[in-house]
Amino acid sequence: MGIGDIVLIGVGLPALLILLNPRMTNWRSWRAIVTPLASIIGSGFLVAGPILSHAAGNYAWAAMLGLCGVGYYFGSAIRHNIRYVEPVLDNGAPRAALSIEDASQVSLSLAYFVSVAYYLNLFSAFALRSGGIVDPVWIKVLATLVIGSIGLMGILRGLSALEKLETLAVGLKLSMIGALCVSLLIISGMAFSAGTFSWPSFSHQTGLEEVKILLGLVILVQGFETSRYLGAEYSGRMRIRTMKQAQWISTGVYLVFILLVTRYFTGELPPEGGETQIIDLLQPVGVLVAPLIIVIALASQLSAAVADLNGSGGLIRETSRKKLTVQWGYGVTALASIIVTWSADIYQIITYASKAFVLYYGLQCLQAALSAARIGGHEMKWRVLMYSAGVVLALAIILFAIPAEA
């Protein structure tokens, strides 16, 4: 057992105990932060390193900072809508605002279709990787079985049993990420002191191709929008504050992780198994890294998929004007996710998911721009311009983003 393994245990276990302590889990502000935070640094944490290595090389940290900036930009539009639009939606809102909100719900439902496929394809990839299987066909087969099983469970019995995984998965995931970052920091510090620290040199995508790939990676920082739909539990002011905090924390974690893991980059995505390449990259850290990453991946991907399936079922009920029940919404989502699974590889699914969520963000920017125009005033004029630009950015991502290719 090396220094990396010792740090993983020495930091990870105390962090897990703290995060699962009832005082922590019952702290309202923390609970409001955890919901978006767990989503932002969930699946993206597993694939960010290999994909950004392939797309941006040693400048992966700058690409990650740019993605986090785009996420914060879109998040500001949602925060504007929490403050100014939410209060009037059920009380004399303009027809345009209601129409945009309906369109946003439809687009978010579509995003959930793709994200459930994304999460459970990653779940299947990491599950099969534990047995040495990286064949994409078997990954799709297992993903189909898992999606179908969860969808059937939702139709017949609801998803309350699987939802209990969420608290454990969040604590496990965040503690592991913290321990991994500390371990990488110590190992890098030791290498620097010994004079053996070096940055790899390799070619990577450049120019317009690189930009197009990066545009398709917004899914890596997606998740902050969940604060928009926690109004039944938390005030608007708290949701605005905790969404910002979740995005600040996730930006810090991502940047630290990408900077520390850059020295392990190869710049290549293997023809098969690239979505689980983080295991290979971090093998030098310690023997416990691979099994721990697999456990984290399985728990976090399953809980994230269940959360999105739940959200999609509710949205389908609302958008169908209650003609479909929540249970049948689960079935519709599962069927759509299976279709996505067999129509694309994991990198295409990542890009599709990014575009689907960006469609929602673009509509929220449009909502914010129109709201700012109605309110008027000097500050709001700047917001009209800022959020109108967000609509243009969203359109650019939808039109031009392309998947990374091995």
What pLDDT, in 10s, does the model give residues 336-357? 999 999 999 888 898 898 999 9
**Considering only CA atoms, which of 172, 177, 210 is closest in space to residue 56?**
210
Does the pTM exceed 0.85? yes
> Beta-strand (E) ranges in 213-307?
none
The pLDDT value recorded for residue 291 is: 84
Complete domains list, the chain, with CATH: 3-400 (1.20.1740.10)
* Those residues with Cβ within 8 angstroms of residue 331's Cβ, 6 or more apart along the chain or in another chain: 151, 152, 154, 155
The tokens of 253 are what? 């974690």
**DSSP state letter for 130:** T
pLDDT score of 257 more than 70: yes
Residue 171 has pLDDT above 90, yes or no: no
Residue 327, φ and ψ in degrees, nearest 5:
-60, -45
Helix (H/G/I), strand (E/B), else coil: 204: coil
Let me know: does 256 contact 250? Beta carbons within 8 Å: no
| Range among 115-129, 158-172, 215-229, 383-397 with highest mean pLDDT value | 383-397
In the block, tokens 């969930």 appear at 42
Cα angle 367, 369, 372; round to 5: 105
Residue 93 CA to residue 90 CA, distance in Å, equals 7
> DSSP characters for 172-237?
HHHHHHHHHHHHHHHHHHHHHHHT-----------HHHHHHHHHTTGGGGTTGGGGGG-TTTS-HH
Is residue 96 within 8 A of residue 363, CB to CB? The reply is no
d(CA 68, CA 47): 15
**Burial class (CB within 10 angstroms; exposed 0-12, middle 13-18, buried 19+) of 271:** exposed
SS3 of residue 275 by DSSP? helix
Report which of 183, 166, 127 is spatially closest to residue 305, judged by C-alpha positions.
Answer: 166
Residue 406: pLDDT above 60?
A: no
For the chain, the average pLDDT equals 85
Q: What value does the mean pLDDT take over residues 197-219? A: 77
Instruction: Decide if pLDDT at 397 tops 70.
Output: yes
Sign of CA dihedral 313, 44, 15, 256: negative
Tokens representing 169 are 């998965």
For residue 219 the two structure tokens come to 């899914």
Q: Please answer whether residues 312 and 113 qualify as being in contact, where contact means their C-beta atoms are separated by less than 8 angstroms.
A: yes
Q: pLDDT tens digit string along 147-165? A: 999 888 888 877 666 666 6
User: Residue 337: its pLDDT value, please?
Assistant: 94
Q: What is the pLDDT of residue 203?
A: 65
Q: For 262-304, how does the pLDDT look when each residue is reduced to its tens digit (9 = 90+)?
A: 888 776 666 666 777 888 878 877 788 888 888 878 877 887 7
